[in-house]
Structure 1
Amino acid sequence: MEITGTAQHAAWQSRSLPPVEQLRPGLWSLPVPIPHNPLRYVTVHVFALDGGGLGLLDTGWESDAGWTALTDGLAAIGGSVQDVRGVLVSHLHFDHLGLAARVRAASGAWVAMHPADATAVAALSRTAAADAVAAEVRFLIGLGAPPEEARADVGGAENLAGFLRMAVPDRLLEDGDVAAFPSWSLRAVHTPGHTPGHLCFAEERTGLFFSGDHVLPRISPNVSSTHRGEADPLRSYLGSLAGVRDLAVTEVLPAHEWRFRGLADRVDALTAHHEARLAELLAAIGAHPGSTPWDLAAHLTWSRPWEQYERRMRIFAVTETDAHVRLLAGRGLVTSSGGAVPTWTIRPR
């Protein structure tokens, strides 16, 4: 794999934001910070459109600092948020969709997503924050969390309120649709797994591949079970990886970290990572039969000691563990006790 986003990579190493960069005629990358998150920023891609105006791919985390970064970045390339005609959203997460409502209010731009994520955002917009908290707590208890720890990790309704006010899209993009960005040929590639409606975009004239969170150069994106999500999200993710592996791509432009070449090599590395993780989890289930996903997460290898995991980091780890358990079950390797809080053991052969 070859790093092509050298300024992005250097900024990552120095723990700073990368610069606004012009990548091609009429195409720029613009970093928007993510508060209190090890990913540090999301890359918004900005397209100059025939006939005037700009198009955005993703918008950044909704915060005053994020809004300032987005508007200052647009000013740096000679534009403004009022020039935005349309917003493509790779997926529903807050660091990608968060600022879309402000952009739309300021510019009148349309907002487009895949129907699966659009449906989820619409449902969230109709949900009271207290109800969202209660649903997530119930889901974690169903994965084996002690009720008091589930409530502590999810936190109060104020922690989710912003997520329930995200922009409901007014346009839908299915797999294979070409986005309405004049002078560009951005074909939507449905890549479920990270979210049910995750979209990548293949720019057919240049060979550029905007991979969102689907393929990142350094880490594997979180693939988790959710109370409203897919039954087997990791199976979907691995299938989506295989689906993009052999695309004719000149450069990969992800939403985090840095640009690179070598899509097939990176897909192979991500696939191998998950197969190794599945093997580690299978061994943990064998060593600790009758465990819940909450229990099993503590027996896996993480980037820091398990005792340091709490709140949203622990939720992500446990729900990611559950996604791997579901795939093992789908492969017929483990079996569930059933009941309100299922436990898992190796399936007898």
Structure 2
Amino acid sequence: MPIPGNPLGKTLVYVLENERGPVLIDAGWEHPEAWKALKAGLTGLGTAIEDVYGVVVTHMHPDHAGLAGRIRERSGAWVAMHRADAEVITHMRADLENPNGEDLGDWIGRAGASPEEQDAMRANDGRPDPPAMPDRLLEDGDLVDLPGRTLRTIWTPGHSPGHICLHLEDRDLLFTGDHVLPEITPHVGLYPYDRPEVDPLGGYLASLERTAAMGVEDAMPAHQYSFTGISRRAKEIIEHHEERLAEVRALLGDEPQTLWTLATRCVWSYSWEKMPPISHHLAVGETAAHLRTLEKRGQARRTGGHPLSYVR
């Protein structure tokens, strides 16, 4: 399923056969090209959108949940996702309806960005509309409605609060969504940057440990390609984040630094100056997530709320 204008290129949507009709794992981006690809893919399998029995969304990001509502309208299919991501969608919808709500320019301003940087963010704030609300809420360990087969929900928070993997037990395959990808390190950010009482990176590291210990090695991810070696890859991603935690910790000193400044000092895949504004927002969210984990470990301390500032 194409993701026009996105460097990821495509989302892999899986079709599971069962006696009541196809069940999709993820739905793809809400875009005419993606809709066309979905119809062609189902036709090639001898079925159609009207035959779809259900859609299980691994997480609420638009390249995974975007078309779920449209599929439901055409087929009457149910849409399922984890309760925590359904709650995120509810909050997103409430924010859109609040004329006094914050935008991304306000967010990066609280992180320490300049007024000029805030204006650039507002001019480039291209956030998509929230996806459709699900009909069914899933919890860890729940079985998905897949008659004649066993598809179990594995809650793996981190990339999103309600991210799930799906264990097809009759084939011993794990549909990993964006939790474990063969080459890419999935994004883990804290949004808003100072959201209290949550530790998305800490939760993600724990989820990776759990995934590595499952004993399932064959992965069907949502991007790139299928692979074998889930435990190996999960451990590689843990090592990557431990290196990033050490990098952020080394940037901290006795004098407070803003979240924005710390993000600009981190090493990214390309230079800060060449990043588009939305990438700055994602980089700040990722830095905030690493700082939160360092706070939990007693290796960083927040000293200010506006702008957000930290010392070691």
- Out of 77, 83, 89, which is 2:51 matched to? 83
Partner of residue 227, structure 2: 260
Does residue 42 (structure 1) correspond to residue 11 (structure 2)? The answer is: yes
Deviation at 1:156, TM superposition (A): 6.2
Describe the shift of the 1:56–1:33 C-alpha distance in structure 2 as closer, same or farther (beyond 3 A): same
Partner of residue 286, structure 2: 320
Describe the shift of the 1:229–1:186 C-alpha distance in structure 2 as closer, same or farther (beyond 3 A): farther
Does residue 112 (structure 1) correspond to residue 77 (structure 2)? The answer is: no
Identity level (%): 42
The 8 Å contact of residues 117 and 197 in structure 1, kept in 2 or not, is answered as yes
Q: Which runs of 4+ in 1 moved over 4 A?
A: 129-133
| Alignment length (residue pairs) | 310
Does residue 100 (structure 1) correspond to residue 68 (structure 2)? The answer is: yes
Partner of residue 295, structure 2: 329
Does residue 152 (structure 1) correspond to residue 120 (structure 2)? The answer is: yes
Cα deviations by residue, 1:291-315 (Å, 9 ceiling, x for unpaired): 1121111211111122101221111
Partner of residue 38, structure 2: 70
Quote the RMSD (CA, aligned, Å). Answer: 1.9
The 8 Å contact of residues 113 and 172 in structure 1, kept in 2 or not, is answered as yes
Helix, strand or coil for the counterpart of 2:13? Answer: strand
Alignment of 1:6-25 (within 5 A): none
Structure-2 separation of matches of 1:132 and 1:281 = 34
Partner of residue 206, structure 2: 239
TM-score when normalising by structure 1:
0.84
Gaps of 5+ in 2: none
Helix, strand or coil for the counterpart of 2:307? Answer: coil
TM-score when normalising by structure 2:
0.94
Counterpart AA for 2:154: V
Partner of residue 305, structure 1: 271
Deviates more, 1:103-112 or 1:129-138: 129-138
Cα deviations by residue, 1:113-161 (Å, 9 ceiling, x for unpaired): 111101111232344277597343322222222233134224367x33x
The 8 Å contact of residues 235 and 327 in structure 1, kept in 2 or not, is answered as yes
- Out of 262, 265, 279, which is 1:296 matched to? 262
Does residue 33 (structure 1) correspond to residue 2 (structure 2)? The answer is: yes
Describe the shift of the 1:186–1:245 C-alpha distance in structure 2 as closer, same or farther (beyond 3 A): same
Deviates more, 1:70-79 or 1:332-341: 332-341
Gaps of 5+ in 1: 1-31
Structure-1 separation of matches of 2:176 and 2:151 = 12
The 8 Å contact of residues 217 and 266 in structure 1, kept in 2 or not, is answered as yes
Partner of residue 181, structure 1: 146
Alignment of 1:193-204 (within 5 A): 193-204=158-169
Cα deviations by residue, 1:260-295 (Å, 9 ceiling, x for unpaired): 111111111000000000111111223x94211211
Describe the shift of the 1:97–1:78 C-alpha distance in structure 2 as closer, same or farther (beyond 3 A): same
Counterpart AA for 1:257: Q
Alignment of 1:267-286 (within 5 A): 267-286=234-253
Alignment of 1:330-345 (within 5 A): 330-345=296-311
Helix, strand or coil for the counterpart of 2:225? Answer: coil
The 8 Å contact of residues 196 and 229 in structure 1, kept in 2 or not, is answered as no
